Copies of this chain bind each other. A is one copy, B any other.
Amino acid sequence: MSIAHPYLMFLGDAPDQLAAKTAQGVAHWRPDWCVGQLRLPGCKADLRLPDMTLDQARAAGVKTVIVGVANRGGLIGQSWIVVLKQALEMGMDLASGLHKRLVDVPVLAQTARKLGRNLFDVRHPTRDFAIGNGKKRGGKRMLTVGTDCSIGKMYTALALEKEMQQRGMKADFRATGQTGILIAGDGVSIDAVVSDFVSGAVEWISPDNDADHWDLVEGQGSLFHASYAGVTLSLIHGAQPDALVMCHEPARPHMRGLPHYKLPDLQACIDANLAAARLTNPAARLVGFSLNTSALDAAGAERALKECSQKFGLPVVDPVRTGVAPLAEALARV
């Protein structure tokens, strides 16, 4: 698969801004691809893109309508289907980050098949993967790991892609989750892959490459998250990272979704991730930290960055407050 752009961002009747989180991520990282938004009556979300009808979107060259909203109960309502079917008829593909599949809506599946359009349900892998083989591939790989889920692993990898490309380095973001896939145009939602094939799926999305090329692989979960650690371990082994960036939120009170679990000690988390990475790449090393200091004020954030840097003697950034230049420089030295 490869999702064609430009995109029209379909927000449906999203009840609030949070429901459009996926669409917002895409619009933030791919401003050139996202030419407009389509909102239905009652929509409470706004990406601050031009509102467009389907006719206007077609005139603007849109190739794919992105369904980038979470709706109540995960359903795809009738008011959406009318618009999405029309988009297919006007020559556009559809891509969705919802659990509920577009291909399971009969009228959309039939219309797409009849007209030769693509339906991308990016949460659901549509191909089979081989078992991981652990064989060393050419090129370099960076993987974002973390003390917890939802802590900045995708954001950090995308910020590094932008920074490294601006410096003329060969670097590509490799998506492992639904928002990342809509941003990259391809990838695999690895948490939806059958467990036996996850490391093989990661090997597939990050193939052999030029010796000076960096794959910037989007991390998932945490080795210390009781629900998802197995997904993370398969990802680490499949990615064969040369470089790890540790993502952490200093002020977080407990593991996401697990109030009975504290965040791990940072040193223990580093040790476990390096040990895991060195199984498939003995040269793996930690190059720096990406802190999410959104819950701290400016002084608190500065203190957190400084403390971490002094403790570990490595570059520490907050991609939002400071940018990721020190990490890009560290990768250039690997």
Contact = CB atoms under 8 A, between A and B. Distances in A.
Interface of A: 131-135, 190-196, 198-200, 223-224, 226-235, 237, 257-258, 260-261, 272, 275-276, 279-280
Contacts of A258: 133-134
B134 A231 contact: no
Contact of A227 (B134, B194, B229): B134
23 contacts: A132-B227, A133-B227, A134-B258, A134-B261, A191-B196, A192-B195, A193-B194, A194-B194, A195-B230, A195-B231, A195-B234, A196-B228, A199-B228, A200-B227, A224-B279, A226-B237, A226-B280, A229-B237, A229-B276, A229-B279, A230-B230, A233-B233, A272-B275
Contacts of A261: 134
A199 B134 contact: no
A260 B281 CA distance: 12
Interface residue SS majority, chain A: helix
A283 to B, nearest CB: 15
Nearest to A228: B196
Given A192-B196, A199-B229, A226-B280, 18 more contacts: A134-B258, A134-B261, A135-B260, A190-B195, A191-B196, A192-B194, A194-B194, A195-B195, A195-B231, A196-B228, A200-B227, A224-B279, A226-B237, A229-B233, A230-B230, A230-B233, A231-B234, A233-B233
Nearest to A132: B227
Nearest to A192: B194
A199 B230 contact: yes
A30 to B, nearest CB: 26
Contacts of A224: 279
Contacts of A226: 132-134, 199, 237, 279-280
A153 B280 CA distance: 24
Contacts of A275: 272
Contacts of A190: 195
A227 B192 CA distance: 17
A224 B237 CA distance: 10
A51 to B, nearest CB: 36
Most buried by B among A135, A224, A235, A279: A279
A199 B258 CA distance: 14
Contacts of A257: 131
A7 to B, nearest CB: 27
Nearest to A276: B229
A231 B196 contact: yes
A230 B236 CA distance: 9
Nearest to A227: B132
Nearest to A131: B227
Contacts of A260: 134-135
Contacts of A133: 226-227, 258
A191 B194 contact: yes
Contact of A191 (B134, B195, B233): B195
A134 B198 CA distance: 22
